[in-house]
């Protein structure tokens, strides 16, 4: 369903937060606190980001994390790559049987790869710096409103803020971020 995982969402959140003061050292605990996320979760994300050289870490007392590169040179695609273990690969036509060999020579795959490429490009076009200073609409393909794209979510943020200070771990904690 083309959804984005929570972890990746957290990743963009954390990275964006750090991009405000790129030279500062943020400890995992501090980030967890400012963002209202669980410390273990934040740790996990930061570790993954560190393994992919998106953040650099300093161990020991007064250690912490900071961006490894300027925010201009980090793309959303980088974050996705770091946080999703499954490699960026397109759908096989279908796992099951031999349509490919039978009739179409699997042009379906070719088309899925094109779609995939476009998605990838979209992810690469948005830099972390754009997350702070909003992107001019021109950067991305579609400028104005698209028909069936829902305004989506965010209506309950105020409520969430009022209700609890720490991670919402209730029955409502499922991912509500589908892309499709």
Q: Which of residues 125-154 bind DNA (CB under 7 A)?
A: none
Nearer to DNA, 116 or 129 (CB): 116
Report if residue 1 touches DNA, rule: CB under 7 A: yes
In the shown chain, the binding pattern of residues 67 to 86 toward DNA, with x for contact by CB under 7 A and - for none, equals: ------------------xx
Nearer to a second copy, 70 or 104 (CB): 104
Position among 48, 55, 74, 93 found at the interface with a second copy (CB under 8 A)? 93
Task: Give the separation between CA 88 and CA 85, rounded to whole angstroms.
Answer: 9
Position among 23, 60, 61, 158 found at the interface with a second copy (CB under 8 A)? 158
Residue closest to 139 by CA, chosen among 116, 118, 122: 122
Residue 130, both tokens:
């754009």
Answer with the entry of a second copy, DNA, none that 88 interacts with (C-beta below 5 to 8 A by kind).
a second copy
Report if residue 132 touches a second copy, rule: CB under 8 A: yes
């Amino acid at each position: 369903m083309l959804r984005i995982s929570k972890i990746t969402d957290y990743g963009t959140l954390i990275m964006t937060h750090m991009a405000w003061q790129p030279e500062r050292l943020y400890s995992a605990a501090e980030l967890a606190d400012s963002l209202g996320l669980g410390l273990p979760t934040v740790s996990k994300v930061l570790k993954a980001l560190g393994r992919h050289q998106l953040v650099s870490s300093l161990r020991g007392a007064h250690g912490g994390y900071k961006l490894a590169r300027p925010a201009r040179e980090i793309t959303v695609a980088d974050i996705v790559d770091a946080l999703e273990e499954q490699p960026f690969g397109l759908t096989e036509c279908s796992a099951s049987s031999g349509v490919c060999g039978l009739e179409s020579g699997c042009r379906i795959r070719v088309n899925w790869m094109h779609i995939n490429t476009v998605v990838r490009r979209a992810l690469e076009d948005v830099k972390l710096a754009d997350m702070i200073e909003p992107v001019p609409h021109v950067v991305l393909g579609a400028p104005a409103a698209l028909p069936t794209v829902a305004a989506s979510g965010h209506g309950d943020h105020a409520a969430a803020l009022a209700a609890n200070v720490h991670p919402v771990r209730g029955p409502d904690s499922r991912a509500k971020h589908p892309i499709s």
